[in-house]
Structure 1
Amino acid sequence: MNQKHSRSSWTYWTCLSGALILCWGSVLALRAGAACAETSGALIQEIAKSNGCVEFWVNRYQATIAAGIAAAVAFFALRPVFYQLYEIRKQSAHGEKAILEAFAKDVDDELDAVREINGGLFLISLMAGSFNAEVAADIPEDTIKEFESMRSELSGERRIVRTSDRRLIGSAELIQKRKSYIKVTDEYFSACRSYFQAVRIKPPTHLFGDQARNANLEIYKREAAKALACSKLHTTIANEIFPKIEALSAETWREIRRLERKGRGLLD
């Protein structure tokens, strides 16, 4: 359908150009006739030597007329070349669009992955009681198992971010932020795991009540402090990297839409 539209467009412009050339020739003829009626003096003798007034003016401006005819002939002769170049540009736009669409998918996948990781770590902090050492002993075993399950589920998202890091996707600033994000995310997961493992440590069997609760409190506090520090740092870096990936996605899709219009012949 696009090819038919392109050819009909070329036919339209060819017919229009031919009509304009005919109009131009007609105007020249009319102006020559009018000039013949208005000439006087020395021009009358020159016209008399010619075979008529129109022939006199045609001979006088034959260079201009020849140039116009040559331009018209060149246009019609080169029209297939112009059309071929036009089609090549369209095909090139389609090829660039396909490449950018694949790139945009990778960027959007990373954007979704970062969103899932950030949301998952937020839920983990809630499961950990916001890393409050005073309530660590009350965290049930089921919550710790849920953390392990969530950590496993997010491994795919973390792999996507690492793939983007290996492929160096984005600007130099985004690449650097991504490296920091991967590093602090790994440290955060490691700190959370250490924290939950500390929670699993049972107090000595000879202690009861508050003594049992406070027996491992120092261990809880130490691991909670590490996890809390990682949590704050991760939040800071996540808030920096997410808008940059989002901006890269928006910019890529804008370029895809431009190439799509170019491929349909709507842009020069």
Structure 2
Amino acid sequence: MDIRVGTLNLASARDSRGRSLDAAGLRTALADLDVDVLAVQEIDVAQPRSQQVDQPAEVAAALGVSEWRFAAAVAGTPDPFRSWTPVDPPVLRASWETPADPLYGIALFSRLPVRRWSVQALGAGRAKLPIRAPDPRTGEVRTWWFPDEPRLAVAAELDGVTVIGTHLSFAPHTAARQLFRLRSWARTLPGPVLVAGDLNLIGPLPATLARAQRLVTAPTYPAPAPRVQFDHVLALDPVTAGPAEVRALAFGDHRLVVVPVTLPGDAPVRP
């Protein structure tokens, strides 16, 4: 069985000027993407900074998929002057649901049938990160000191493979702790298991920590001239991977990553 797995930090679909694409622009930017399962991070729902666009629904439309789930890490509009309002316990939003309030989080999209969806909370760190981003009230780009949001992982159990999408903390020690928690959770899911996402850990480090196979070896950040790899696809069980596609899009500060994976014929199923 062959499957194309990808990861993309959407960054609220902001372009080089810091403005988020509208719904039509987002669909156009992703229209030619050839991927079976895509993990997406930093994705907005009804946020003022991204023109109130329901970004998970628009990404799904661009990919032509009906199988997807969105997990909100934060309820409301992110504000650097106050703490995040976490969604606790985490809830998966299905494709047929339309939230009324602003949300922010991660999503997982699949062109293949999904047997079961699940979500896992990974916790949050205490660090703050300086980020150049639009003011959610005025749209003016400025430097913000953002607190670390709660981190999540979403799993899609397919025929013969489970794919997990996630976005780990920007604080390396916290990201490492979250990766250990993710691996423990992954061991309860049917294998082989693939992990895709912005892990905020560079190069070979996440594969080493997770005792996993690194399927992509290329710099992904920052998008215009990448120097480090934050965006990964890992295999927690033996698989074969082909050459990866790593390219910049019309938005975002990370490059898109897509890798073809050949799965073993008899995939192990864990208890």
TM-score by length of 2: 0.21
Indicate the structure with greater strand content.
2
TM-score by length of 1: 0.22
Q: Which structure has the larger Rg? A: 1
Indicate the structure with greater helix content.
1
Kindly indicate whether structure 1 or structure 2 has the higher relative contact order, using CA contacts under 8 Å at least 6 residues apart: 1
